[in-house]
Structure 1
Amino acid sequence: MSYPPDPNNPYGQPPAAPGYGYPQQAPQAPPVPGYGYPPAAPGYGYAPAVPQSMPGLVMTTRVLLFIIGGVQVILAGFCLIAAAATKDVVTKTSSTSDDFISSIGNAAAGILLVVGVVWALAATLSITLGAKFGKGGNGVRITTIVYGSIASIFGLLDLIGGISSKVTVNIIIGLIWIAICVIWITAMCVRDGVNWFNRPRY
C-alpha cells in the first residue's frame, strides 16, 4: 500500500516542477473564418443605416412629381390645342382681315405652341424623375434638387406678380408651387433621402 509523499519529509522525493516531464501545450492558432464569409473588420463607428424601404418624405416627393407631371400634361395639351385653334382661325380669316391682325394671331399661336412644348418637356422630366425614385442613384437626387430650385424661381415670380397685380389666384398658385419645390429639395437633402439614393444595389 503506497502513501502520498509527505511534503514535510526532508528525505522524500521533491515534487516535480510544473512543466518538466510533461509535454507542453502548443499555442492554439486563431480560428479561421468559414469560406464565403469575410472576416469582420473592427470598426470604430457605426455605418449609416441602409433604408430597406423608401422613406416617407421621399415617397411624398415621388407622388408630388407624378401629380405635377399629370397637371403639366394637361396644360401642355391645352396650349397645343389652343395654338392649333388660333392658327386655324387666323388661316380662315386671313382673306378678310388685315395683315396686322393676322400677325397678332400668328404670334399668339406661336407663343402657345412654345409654351405647350415647354409644359410637355417639364411633364416628361417630372414623370421620369418620379419613376426613377425606386432604382435611381445619386444623379436622380441631384437632378431633382436642380429641378426644384429652378421651378421655385417661377413660383416666386408668379407670387410676386400676383401680389403686385393683386390677383389672388396667382398668389395661391405661387405659394403652393413654392411649398412643393421646398418639399422636393428638403426630401433630397435630409439624411434619409441621401441614404436612400446612395444605398448599395445588388
Structure 2
Amino acid sequence: MSFGEPNNPYGQQPQGQQPGYGYPQAPQGVPPQGQYGYPAAPPVSPYGAYPGGPGMVPQSMPGLLTTARVFLYLISAVQILAGIAYVYAASIASDASDLASEYGSGSDNPFEDIGDFAAGAAIVLALIFLGLAALSITLAVKFGSGGQGVRITTVIYGALGTIVGAIGLFIGLDSGLATAVIFPLIWVTFGVIITLAPVVPSGTAWFSRPRY
C-alpha cells in the first residue's frame, strides 16, 4: 500500500488543508469572532461601580470622605487642647494638695485628700482625651491607604461621638442656654458626617479599592 494513493484513508493529507471539525473556516482578512456568537465583554471591576463610571475604581478620595478627614483633624485638635487643660488642672490640684498638707493641721486634712483626688481624676481625663486625639489623627491619616478595618473603626468612632454629642445637645436644650447648645450641635454634625462618609457607595468603593 502506497502513501501516495489518493483513495488511501491513511495516507498523507494534502498540503495546505486543515482537518475539519464541523466548523467552517473564516476567509483570510476577516477577524475571528467570539465563540458561540457572543462578543467579548469588557472587564468589570470586582470592587463595584463608582460614580466616575460603571465598574471603575476610584482614583481620588471622594469629597465626603475628605470632609470627614478634615473633621477628624479638627476633633483631634480639640481633644489635644482638652488633654493639655486637664494636665494643667491636675498640676493645680496637686499644688493645692501640697499647700493644704503644709499649712494644714493634723494628719486627717480633708483638703489634702480632695486635692489628691482631683489631681488623679484630671490626669485620667487628660490621658483619655490625648488617647482619643491619637486615634482621631491615626484614622485621618489612614484614610488614604486604609482598608476595611479603618472603615469599620471610623464608623464606630463616629457613631459613639454622635451619641455623646446628642446627650450634650439634649442637656443644652434642657438648660435653655444657647451657648450650651452650639458646641454639642457642632459635635453631632461632625459625628454624623464621619459616620456616614465610609458607608455611602463612594466611601465603600474607596476603602475597597485594590492597593498595590
TM bracket (short chain): 0.7 to 0.9
Partners of 2:147 and 2:208 within 8 A in 1: yes
Q: Which amino acid is the alignment partner of residue 146 of structure 2?
A: G
1:67-146 aligned at under 5 Å gives the runs 67-97=74-104, 99-146=109-156
Q: Which residue number in structure 1 is paired with residue 175 of structure 2?
A: 165
Q: How many residues align?
A: 172
Alignment gaps of 5+ in structure 2: 1-15, 19-23, 33-38, 50-55
2:30 is equivalent to residue 61 of structure 1: no
Q: Which amino acid is the alignment partner of residue 135 of structure 1?
A: S
Which has more radius of gyration? 1
Shift of residue 93 of structure 1? 2.3
TM-score by length of 1: 0.76
Q: Which residue number in structure 1 is paired with residue 207 of structure 2?
A: 197
Shift of residue 103 of structure 1? 1.7
Alignment gaps of 5+ in structure 1: 1-22, 32-39
Q: Which residue number in structure 1 is paired with residue 187 of structure 2?
A: 177
Q: Which amino acid is the alignment partner of residue 133 of structure 1?
A: F
Tell me the distance in 2 between the aligned counterparts of 1:116 and 1:72: 9
Give the direction of change, closer, same or farther, for the CA distance of 1:201–1:41 in structure 2 (3 Å limit).
Answer: farther
Shift of residue 41 of structure 1? 6.5
Tell me the distance in 2 between the aligned counterparts of 1:67 and 1:81: 21
- Aligned residues: CA RMSD: 2.6
Could you give the per-residue CA deviations for residues 68-87 of structure 1, whole angstroms, max 9, x where no partner exists?
Answer: 11121111011112102211
Give the direction of change, closer, same or farther, for the CA distance of 1:109–1:167 in structure 2 (3 Å limit).
Answer: farther
Q: Which amino acid is the alignment partner of residue 136 of structure 1?
A: G
Tell me the distance in 1 between the aligned counterparts of 2:123 and 2:78: 17
Q: Which residue number in structure 2 is paired with residue 42 of structure 1?
A: 41
Tell me the distance in 2 between the aligned counterparts of 1:45 and 1:139: 25
Q: Which residue number in structure 1 is paired with residue 4 of structure 2?
A: none
Could you give the per-residue CA deviations for residues 26-73 of structure 1, whole angstroms, max 9, x where no partner exists?
Answer: 725986xxxxxxxx9637977522111011110111111111111211
Q: Matched residue of 2:153: which SS?
A: helix
Shift of residue 88 of structure 1? 1.6
Tell me the distance in 1 between the aligned counterparts of 2:186 and 2:201: 25
Q: Which amino acid is the alignment partner of residue 41 of structure 2?
A: P
Tell me the distance in 2 between the aligned counterparts of 1:191 and 1:197: 10
Shift of residue 94 of structure 1? 1.4
Give the direction of change, closer, same or farther, for the CA distance of 1:63–1:93 in structure 2 (3 Å limit).
Answer: same
